[in-house]
């Protein structure tokens, strides 16, 4: 009884205390601390921000989505100036980079999620969470319409929320390219549910193929696992599946060893197209050794319950391949609710919702968007040539000296980052060199035509940011920082000069993405990592780096401990193949 009381008290202490203290209790109770406790947990409670204003009526800030963008925004929001309402069909945040590890039990599903209420607890702002999906955004009346994911009675499922400021961070849906049969028969890997279903389906296949009533031909079909899409997720999944099959399932189902086949279908010419050729070549060689059949130039045209039909892009030949499980991983597309919203704000027909460089949605007020659901439409420098000229030519002389641009060069670089990229690419020392090249004769002044000539090529360096967690989380952090310092920056703007408008400065610096590299786990405890500047490292050491980086990036101490112990469990006992 006494023991039970002690246990009870310890458990209450663990539940009620702040996260680092919980960790201390857990580790001490476990008899030995193996992780150093740091005070810089990303989910520590924060002090009120400088623009907080509890005196007047607070503005209502609605955040749609609790993925990488939405959660990082909420985590970094430090102002108490808003009443915050969060809407998402998932009441948790998912660490998506570890979803492939959930598909085979290397990591358990609950280890990579964190309840959103835990994350926003102890924040300086009031926050309410609604587990629902937004199905319509009305920018005119500033309302979002939502539907609970619980199946409640008639009239109880739906509700509307007013907003003063809206942050859209709803991510994207899987792109099926309208390929017939994909929605019905293929697996996706976007959510935790998807990973769990996939894990069950693989074990289903092994158990079904083990039944005495199954013919040899049917066994071959059932044991054929097809991955569609040779991007990082498809490649990682194929590698994870191979490891699961060879390291764990082969000894448990020895009679099925020879029936197993893994095929990776890619419509383009090579897998991992966003990586350096060294990585692609290594992945191809490794997969060949692992007997993963990589078929490039193979476009899937139809999926039925038992066959997947591919078209060879070179020959046009159609082939129907029998399969047991197919994973569809071919990229992302706009969600219907966003597409409908885009129509309302004059963005119909665009591939993805456009924001300006400050993440404000173009065509409506007080709406911001980040992550996979939006893309920054970078302002073109050439379009602003006349405005830049007018600013520099203070005396309206019609032409200026190259040196007259000096005062605005920093603003030009910040407002049009493509200019600096162009200079780097063409090995030009600075903006002055660009102008001098366009000027031709060093005696001549720069007029609008010369400036247009100088800027004529720079916009070729405008690039779109990739749909990654890195981008979404940096945007979330950036936007929260803007909200936090809004009051200060209104008084003392910190952004670049407004060339197109009547002068003055933008309140904030525009969003600027810092790429810190990309991993491609390739199985067999090997990975490729590509750092900025195309510096590539491949092999076991990179896999070690992968473990370290991902453990450190996990969003709470709880998930860090759970994932590390899952890895430890997997190394010790192997992956669990129970048919749950
Ligand atoms: C398997 C996998 C592995 C990946 N690995 C990496 C990696 O290693 N590195 C990397 O940088 N990126 C990786 N990514 C990409 C990364 O996960 C995404 O780019 C990132 O999640 C985008 O963040 P987001 O906030 O825009 O969207 P998400 O993180 O997808 O979040 C969207 C949120 O919106 C919610 N939502 C959906 N519909 C609605 C609605 N109607 N109303 C309200 N809320 C809604 C969702 O529940 C979710 O909470 C991976 C993705 C996957 C699927």
**Residue reference for tokens 């952090």:** 477
Ligand 1 atom having least distance to the Cα of 100 = 1
Residue 190 Cβ < 6 Å to ligand 1 = yes
Residue 187 Cβ < 6 Å to ligand 1 = no
Distances (CA, A) of 296 to 228, 240, 577: 10, 20, 31
498 C-alpha to center of ligand 1: Å? 34
pLDDT of residue 503: 76
Q: How far apart are CA 360 and CA 428, in angstroms?
A: 33
Residue 231 Cβ < 6 Å to ligand 1 = no
Assign residue 62 a region: left if phi > 0, alpha if psi is -120 to 50, beta otherwise? beta
Distances (CA, A) of 546 to 84, 225, 396, 549, 550: 35, 26, 58, 5, 6
Q: How far apart are CA 197 and CA 374, in angstroms?
A: 29
Beta bridge partners of residue 144, listed in sequence order = 137, 161
Count other C-beta atoms under 10 Å from residue 270's C-beta: 16
Q: How far apart are CA 397 and CA 5, in angstroms?
A: 87
Q: What is the mean pLDDT of the chain?
A: 89
Burial class (CB in 10 A: 0-12, 13-18, 19+), 399: middle
Q: What is the pLDDT of residues 410-452, one digit of tens each?
A: 999 999 999 999 999 999 999 999 998 887 766 778 999 999 9
Assess contact for 334 and 180: CB atoms under 8 A. Answer: no
Residue 375 Cβ < 6 Å to ligand 1 = no
318 C-alpha to center of ligand 1: Å? 34
332 C-alpha to center of ligand 1: Å? 10
132 C-alpha to center of ligand 1: Å? 16
pLDDT of residue 440: 75
Ligand 1 atom having least distance to the Cα of 98 = 3
104 C-alpha to center of ligand 1: Å? 20
First-to-last alpha carbon distance for the chain, in angstroms, is 34
For the segment 461-467, the average pLDDT, to the nearest whole number, is 93
pLDDT of residue 7: 38
pLDDT score of 299 more than 80 = yes
Mutation choice for ligand 1 from 64, 107, 137, 171, CB with most ligand atoms inside 8 A: 171
Q: What is the pLDDT of residues 488-532, one digit of tens each?
A: 998 999 999 999 876 789 999 999 999 999 999 999 999 999 999
The first and second tokens of residue 294, run together, are: 């990589």
Residue 225 Cβ < 6 Å to ligand 1 = no
Distances (CA, A) of 81 to 48, 57, 84, 128, 490: 9, 9, 9, 15, 15
181 C-alpha to center of ligand 1: Å? 24
Residue 521 Cβ < 6 Å to ligand 1 = no
Mutation choice for ligand 1 from 192, 472, 552, CB with most ligand atoms inside 8 A: 472
Q: How far apart are CA 152 and CA 148, in angstroms?
A: 8
For the segment 525-553, the average pLDDT, to the nearest whole number, is 93
175 C-alpha to center of ligand 1: Å? 14
| E strand residue ranges, 201-324 | 224-228, 261-266, 292-296, 298-303, 307-312, 318-322
């Amino acid at each position: 009884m006494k023991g039970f009381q002690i246990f009870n008290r310890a458990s209450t202490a663990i539940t009620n205390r702040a996260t680092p203290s919980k960790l201390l209790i857990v580790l001490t109770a476990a008899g030995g601390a193996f992780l150093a406790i740091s005070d810089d947990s990303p989910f520590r409670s924060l002090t009120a921000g400088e623009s907080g204003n509890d005196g007047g009526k607070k503005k209502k800030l609605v955040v749609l989505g609790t993925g990488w963008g939405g959660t990082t925004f909420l985590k970094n929001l430090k102002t108490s100036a808003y009443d915050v309402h969060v809407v998402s069909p998932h009441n948790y945040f998912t660490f998506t980079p570890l979803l492939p590890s959930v598909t085979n039990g290397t990591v358990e599903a609950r280890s990579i999620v964190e309840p959103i209420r835990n994350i926003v607890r102890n924040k300086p702002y009031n926050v309410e969470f609604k587990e629902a999906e937004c199905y319509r955004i009305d920018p005119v009346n500033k309302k979002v319409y939502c539907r609970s994911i619980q199946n409640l009675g008639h009239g109880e499922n739906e509700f509307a929320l007013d907003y003063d400021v809206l942050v859209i961070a709803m991510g994207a849906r899987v792109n099926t390219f309208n390929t017939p049969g994909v929605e019905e028969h293929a697996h996706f890997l976007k959510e935790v549910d998807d990973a769990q279903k996939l894990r069950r389906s693989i074990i289903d296949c092994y158990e079904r193929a083990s039944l005495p009533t199954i013919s040899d031909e049917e066994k071959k079909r059932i044991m054929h696992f097809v991955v569609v899409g040779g991007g990082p997720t498809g490649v990682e999944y194929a590698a994870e599946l191979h490891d699961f099959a060879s390291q764990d399932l082969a000894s448990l189902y020895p009679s099925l060893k020879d029936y197993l086949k893994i095929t990776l279908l890619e419509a383009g010419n090579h897998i991992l197209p966003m990586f350096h050729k060294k990585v692609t070549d290594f992945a191809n060689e490794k997969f060949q050794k692992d007997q993963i059949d990589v078929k490039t130039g193979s476009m899937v045209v139809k999926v039925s319950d038992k066959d997947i039909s591919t078209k060879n892009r070179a020959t046009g030949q159609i082939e129907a391949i029998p399969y047991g499980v197919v994973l569809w991983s071919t990229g992302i597309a706009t969600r219907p609710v966003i597409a409908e919203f885009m129509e309302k704000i004059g963005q119909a027909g665009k591939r993805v919702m456009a924001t300006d460089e400050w993440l404000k949605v173009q065509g409506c007020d007080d709406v911001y968007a980040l992550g996979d659901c939006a893309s920054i439409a970078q302002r073109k420098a050439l379009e602003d040539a006349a405005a830049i000229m007018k600013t520099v030519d203070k005396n309206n002389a019609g032409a200026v000296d190259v040196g007259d641009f000096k005062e605005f060069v920093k603003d030009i670089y910040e407002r049009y980052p493509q200019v600096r990229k162009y200079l780097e690419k063409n090995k030009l020392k600075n903006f002055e060199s660009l102008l001098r090249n366009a000027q031709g004769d060093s005696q001549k002044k720069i007029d609008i035509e010369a400036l247009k000539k100088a800027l004529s090529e720079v916009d070729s360096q405008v690039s779109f940011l990739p749909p990654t967690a890195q981008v979404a989380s940096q945007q979330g952090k950036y936007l929260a920082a803007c909200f936090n310092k809004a009051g200060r920056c209104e008084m003392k703007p910190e952004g670049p000069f407004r060339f197109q408008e009547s002068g003055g400065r933008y309140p904030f610096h525009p969003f600027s993405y810092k790429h810190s590299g990309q991993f491609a786990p390739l199985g067999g405890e090997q990975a490729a990592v590509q750092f900025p500047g195309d510096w590539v490292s491949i092999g076991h050491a990179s896999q070690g780096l992968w473990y370290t980086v991902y453990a450190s990036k996990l969003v709470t101490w709880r998930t860090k401990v759970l994932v590390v112990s899952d890895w430890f469990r997997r190394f010790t006992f192997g992956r669990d193949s129970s048919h749950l």
